[in-house]
Amino acid sequence: MPDRIHLPDPVRHIVEEIESEIGDEPGGHGPRAAIEGHHGAADRSNDRVETAVREILTEIGEDPDRQGLIGTPDRVHRMYAELTAGYHVDPDRLVNGAVFDVDYSEMVVVKDIPFYSLCEHHLLPFFGSAAVAYIPKGRVIGLSKIPRIVEMYGRRLQVQERLTQQVAAFLMDRLEPQGVGVVVEATHLCAVMRGIRKPGTVMTTSAVLGLFRTRDRTRAEFFAHLERPAPRA
Ligand SMILES: [Zn+2]
């Protein structure tokens, strides 16, 4: 993990927001507002990304010096730094202080967690929602942390299968619960835009550990939760 002192400001801002507790506003504006609202300079320690983006523009037959494209290499550089800020999140800081001893051993389910990620094969977005469930064994984690865990792994180059497994493994490792289940549904622009799959096709992946893997009843309860629409607040 690179030293965070050297991270560009917008990226450090996102990293710190994922790690820290900032009022749980519904709809969570934090990190995304940071991207849209911030126009600070990217890390100027090198301009290799800018050079590479100019190469791409030239290679596809564009003129990187025309007005609309002149700022594109710089924007792309900043954008990738922000969209991959998850590499810099310190999991210990994320979890910090939010694991509680609780005598509760029923299933905890957090669903409809929106996320955005980048497919590592094409560097195009895939996005959708995640559902995360676990059955505690004496320890629970603050609910607001679960979407941050998804975001920590989402803001990287990913494949959906690995994202799903990493979220499950993280909770298994940190909480040592009786089991974890994660289901991720996503649309991949690399597939949709290129017409490989029908538009609107959603890919579903799941990871089940512990009781979610070994006990049919637990898995069935989890999937039943996913089918129920969330109650309106
Ligand atoms: Zn792809």
Q: Cα(188) to centroid of ligand 1, in Å?
A: 7
Spacing of C-alpha 109 from chain mean position:
18
Categorize the per-residue pLDDT at 27 as very low, low, confident or very high, splitting at 50, 70 and 90.
Answer: very low
Mean pLDDT (whole number) for 212-219: 97
Q: Does residue 100 register a pLDDT over 60?
A: yes
137 CA to centre of ligand 1 in angstroms: 38
Nearby residues of 47 by Cβ (< 8 Å), 6 or more positions away:
77
CA of 201 from ligand 1 middle (Å) equals 14
Could you tell me the distance, in angstroms and rounded to a whole number, from the CA of residue 126 to the centre of ligand 1? 8
Cα 101 to averaged position of ligand 1 atoms, centre (Å): 41
Q: Taking all residues of the chain, what is their mean pLDDT, rounded to a whole number?
A: 87
Please give the average per-residue pLDDT across 108-127, as a whole number: 96
The predicted pLDDT at position 199 comes to 62
Instruction: Give residue-wise pLDDT tens across range 44-71.
Output: 557 899 999 999 999 999 999 999 999 9
Instruction: Report yes or no: 181 and 207 within 8 Å, Cβ to Cβ.
Output: yes
The distance from CA 194 to its chain's CA centroid, rounded to whole angstroms, is 23
- Positions annotated as catalytic residues are 119-122, 160, 188, 190
Which pTM does this prediction carry? 0.84
H helix intervals, the chain: 9-19, 30-37, 48-59, 72-83, 91-95, 145-154, 160-175, 189-192, 211-214, 216-227
* Gap from CA of 58 to ligand 1 centroid (Å): 23
Rounded Cα–Cα distance for residues 77 and 107 (Å):
42
Single out the residue of 22, 12, 15 nearest to residue 152, CA to CA. Answer: 15
